[in-house]
Structure 1
Amino acid sequence: MNSGYSGSYGKVRVNMVDFLPQDFYFKALEMSTLDEITQALSGTSYKEDIDALSPSYSNPELLEMAINRHLLKKNRLALATPPPMAIELMKAYFSKWDIENIKSVISSKLLDYKLKENETFLMSFRDIPLGLFSGNLTHEDFVNIMSLGTVREIFNYLAKFGYGTYLLQFIGDQDGSGAVSPLFSALDDYYYSRLFAQMKFVNGDEGPLFRYFAGEIDRRNIMLSLKARVLDIKFDIVKSDIISGGFIPVDKYREFFDSASVDEMGGKIKPFYDLEEPLEAYRANDSLNSFDTYLKKINYRKYMPVLRTQAMSLGSIFSFIFTAEKERENLRAIVMGKAYSLRNERIREIMTVG
């Protein structure tokens, strides 16, 4: 327990009561229309978000925007709470939103499609929110980035934030018109390297948080491996995309790739993660989404109880952040599932309740 976190802990503790109860998601699943869900959310802490956006948007965009806006407020609260020794770590964590948006902008340049923005979100050409402006780059920064002509120019602009200098080494003498996979993997590697580096300078009680992020790296690498198996992509092609820092040693992935099927790969991963539950879902629907959801769930359930009990610590702040993110994921799964007329059983498969 660190008294430097006392103010932070008090703020997040008070705001924990705003989170939706678990049974809200299951009740929302049984609702027939998005308007019913909107009405139900208007009786919660989402009321202000819905009221602010309803003059300009209708469903499903209204709910999508309100859910994202609500998370943005939670993120700002969390970023305003940590003591000085944790500020750089918090910035490193929230840079994931920058990276998500940078990936979208790079893709738009290479695929020649337009993006738009408003004060809170990066938008697709269909006015669908893509990413939050919730990192270290501002709305103005993304306006400037989107106005640039090439990927190299984007990297040069990003150099002052650290991303660009790191990424320039991956495009060599080209103008950035090649494959995006190495660039995106480089961004992920930069993100986790910076995150782990900042954790070394905090308080000494960040062990559970370190292990949580190691589990997230495993999830990323496992999903990359499963997708490659389905597409019959060889290990040598994607080996540079596998990043270190997880519980599974990087050299183990070569063994995983020596599999004739997703089932066989799942069996080889079993010493680290028992994937029988998502394998059953995959056999039924040929979708890899169940693996991603399952790995999110087990990581969340393993470390969240520990983080929640770390009163007046970094863990207490991150438990607040992770709870807010899981709430967003579950609500978005329901909203988009209803918007696309998915069966409730299918929506449950992509929810991370718990």
Structure 2
Amino acid sequence: MFKRSGTGNYAYMSARVKAKTSKLLKEEDYNKMLMMSVPEISHYISEAGYSKEMNDLGSRHEGIELLEYATYMNMSKQFRSILESANGELKSMISAYLTKWDFENLKVVLRGRNYGLPPDKIREDLVIAGSLKEDDIERIMSAPSIEDVMAIFKTKTGLSVSDEALRLYKEENVLTRIEDELTIGYYKGVLDSITGKDRATNIFRTYIKYVIDLKNIETIMKFKMENVDGALAADFFIPGGAQLNDKIFAQANAAPTIEAAFNELQSLKVFEELKTLLSQTPNISLLVLTMERFRLKLAIQVSHMYPLSVIPVVVYMIMKEDEVKKIRTVAHGINSGLDRDTIKNLLVI
């Protein structure tokens, strides 16, 4: 018999996400979509759970734009429904995890403002699933200054950035420092929300710590591929990982080559598997894809261990996000005229 983890409606939420997980698209669905046109894919996903969004948006959008809006809207609704149905410590952990979408939405808005994109184009890539609601996003998009933007964001999420990050954005149009500081704040918030001491909660805490390690490894590899000076690395380090501390991070970034950086990571439990994967990664896009595959694999591995915990809930959300990415990847690939093998290699299956 499984013992529930902390306070919250674990049995109810476990049953809900189990039912939702069973409805996610399978590998054979993506193989079928690879043989379709974009309108055929839209019809296919309508019959697979996206019909309400496709119908609601069909009068205003069409083609690839309709598919993009509908998939993100569906995902937003699923995540909000899960959060609203949870209670107790379970709700707190889910809420902290979903803050990632507040962070992602802020990046979308700031980048859109930088490039002078119209509001409708910015809204296309928003996932309203965290603390920021539609009205908050609209206020951020219309805010006159970056200080006003960040004030709204801090009020709703508790996340803030330094004056130096704001200065770099205002004077040099550099968004990287804001992104890095918010990333650090996000993972700190998730770890702080995991307060239970039972085994299931400890496993979830450990999972998040390994995700932090993987994000830091991804940063190291990006620096090596882009020949970025290792001395600049300290500002990009995310603390709180399972094994990769600031010393290892600095040593790996100071290494002269990718191979030498690998050697600095030998003490990590994930080293052997990642070394094989990353040594075959020729560019940054494939590096990010490789790390996504590994994070997804890690999440699935822990999902069946403690069903009456936050773990299956978060794993469902990871898999739902993965589903939406796959649908959009297939549709964009077909719309761009890519061959089927190339598109399939871009899927995290």
Sort the TM-score into its range (normalised by shorter chain).
Answer: 0.7 to 0.9
Alignment pair present for 1:228 and 2:223 = yes
Number of residues of Structure 1 aligned to a counterpart in Structure 2: 338
Q: Which of 297, 304, 310 pairs up with 1:308?
A: 304
Give the corresponding residue for 1:114. Answer: 117
Q: How does 1:10-25 map to 2 (within 5 A)?
A: 10-25=15-30
Decide which moves more: 244-253 or 179-188.
244-253
Query: Where does residue 239 of structure 1 map in the other structure?
Result: 234
Distance in 2, matches of 1:331 and 1:201, equals 36
Aligned equivalent of 1:148? 143
1:40 aligns with 2:44: yes
Change over 3 Å in CA distance of 1:281–1:85 after alignment to 2: closer
Question: Is this contact kept in 2: 1:218–1:248, CA < 8 A?
Answer: yes
**More helix, by proportion:** 2
| Corresponding residue number in structure 2 for 1:177 | 171
- What is the deviation of 1:112? 5.4
- Could you tell me which residue of structure 1 aligns to residue 130 of structure 2? 135
> Partner residue of 2:63?
59
Change (3 A) 1:343 1:240: same
CA distance in 2, matches of 1:259, 1:46: 48
CA distance in 2: counterparts of 1:294 and 1:134, whole angstroms: 26
Q: CA RMSD in A?
A: 2.5
CA contact (8 A) 1:5 1:313 kept: yes
* Paired AA for residue 275 in structure 1: K
- Alpha-carbon shift at residue 151 of structure 1 (Å): 1.0
Shift of 1:203: 5.6
Query: Alpha-carbon deviations, 1:178-200, whole Å to 9, x = none?
Result: 43222111100110001000012
Q: Could you tell me which residue of structure 2 aligns to residue 167 of structure 1?
A: 161
Counterpart contact for 1:152–1:168, Cα < 8 Å: no
Match of 1:346 in 2: 342
Distance 1:16 1:53 in 2: 25
Instruction: String of CA shifts for 1:46-90, please: whole Å, max 9, x gaps.
Output: 222222222222221121122212211221222123231222221
Task: Look up the match of 1:120.
Answer: none
> In structure 2, what is the equivalent of residue 280 of structure 1?
280
Look up the SS of the partner of 1:226 in the other structure: helix
- 2:77–2:129 contact (8 Å) kept in structure 1: no
Q: What are structure 2's unaligned runs of at least 5 residues?
A: none
- The unaligned stretches of length 5 or more in structure 1 are 118-122
Q: Greater shift after overlay, 207-216 or 240-249? A: 207-216
Q: Percent identity?
A: 16
| CA contact 2:94–2:314 (8 Å) conserved in 1 | no
Q: Contact 1:78–1:321 (CA<8 Å) still a contact in 2?
A: no
Give the 3-state SS of the residue equivalent to 1:46 in structure 2. Answer: helix
Q: Does 1:257 pair with 2:249?
A: no
Displacement of 1:202 in angstroms is 7.6
Normalising by structure 2, we get a TM-score of 0.87
